[in-house]
Copies of this chain bind each other. A is one copy, B any other.
Amino acid sequence: MAGAAGARRSRSTGRVTLADVAQAAGVSPITVSRALRGERAVAPELCERVRAAAAALGYVPDPAARALASSRSSHVAVLIPKLSNTLFVDLLDAVQNTLVPAGYQTLIGVTHYSAAEEEAALRSFLAHRPAGLIVTGSDRSAAACALIDGSGVPCVRVMEVGREEGGYSVGFSQRDAGRAITQQLLDSGRQHIAYVAAQLDPRTLERGEGYAAALAHAGLADRTNQVLSAEPSSMALGGAMLERVLLDAPQTDAIFFCNDDLAQGALLAALRLGIAVPGRVAVAGFNDLPGSDQMLPPLTTVATPRREIGAQAAQMLLKLMRGQPVDAPHLDLGFQVVRRASA
Taking Cβ atoms with an 8 Å cutoff, the residues of A that contact B are 13, 60-65, 67-68, 71, 73, 83-84, 89-90, 92-93, 96, 105-108, 110, 123, 127-129, 234-236, 239, 261, 264-265, 268-269, 271-272, 290-291, 293-296
Q: Which residues of B contact A264 (CB under 8 A)?
A: 291, 294
Q: Are B63 and A127 in contact (CB under 8 A)?
A: yes
What residue in chain B is nearest A82 (Cβ atoms)?
A: B93
* Nearest chain B CB to A306 CB, angstrom units: 12
A235-B294 in contact given A67-B64, A68-B65 (Cβ < 8 Å): yes
Shortest distance from the beta carbon of A141 to any chain B beta carbon, whole Å: 18
With A64-B73, A96-B110, A268-B295 known, 14 other A-B pairs at CB within 8 A are A60-B127, A62-B68, A63-B64, A63-B127, A63-B128, A64-B65, A64-B67, A84-B93, A93-B110, A107-B107, A236-B294, A239-B294, A261-B290, A271-B271
- On whether the beta carbons of B73 and A83 are closer than 8 Å, the reply is no
Return A326 CB to nearest CB of chain B, in Å. Answer: 25
A68 to B13, CA, bound (A): 10
CA of A93 to CA of B105, assembled, Å: 18
Assembled-state Cα–Cα distance A265/B68 (Å): 51
How many copies of this chain? 2
Residue of B92, B110, B294 near A265 (CB, 8 A) is B294
Q: How far is the CB of A262 from chain B (nearest CB, A)?
A: 11
Q: Are B239 and A268 in contact (CB under 8 A)?
A: no
Q: CB < 8 Å: which of B62, B107, B272 contacts A127?
A: B62
A116 CB, min distance to chain B CBs, angstroms: 15
What are 13 A-B residue pairs whose CB atoms fall within 8 Å in the complex? Answer: A13-B71, A60-B127, A63-B128, A105-B128, A235-B290, A236-B293, A236-B294, A261-B290, A265-B291, A265-B294, A268-B295, A268-B296, A271-B296
- Residues in chain B near residue A84, CB distance under 8 A: 89-90, 93
| A64, A105, A127: residue with the most chain B Cβ atoms closer than 10 Å | A64
Task: Tell me the bound Cα distance from A17 to B146 in angstroms.
Answer: 21
A67 to B60: give the CA distance in the assembly, Å: 16
Instruction: List the 4 shortest-distance A-B pairs measured between CB atoms, nearest first.
Output: A64-B67, A60-B127, A64-B68, A83-B93
**Chain B residues within 8 Å of A127, by CB:** 60-63
* Closest chain B residue, CB of each to CB of A297: B272
Measured between alpha carbons, how far is A93 from B83 in the docked complex, in Å?
7
With A128-B63, A268-B295, A295-B268 already in contact, the answer to whether A96 and B108 are too (CB < 8 A) is yes
Given contacts A60-B127, A68-B65, A291-B235, contact A92 B83 (CB under 8 A): yes
- Which of chain B's residues have a CB closer than 8 A to the CB of A83? 89-90, 92-93
Partner of A129, one of B64, B71, B89, B261: B64
Cα(A271)–Cα(B294), bound, Å = 11
What is the CA–CA distance of A189 and B293 in the complex, to the nearest angstrom? Answer: 34
Across the interface, which residues of B come within 8 angstroms of A271, CB to CB?
A: 271, 296
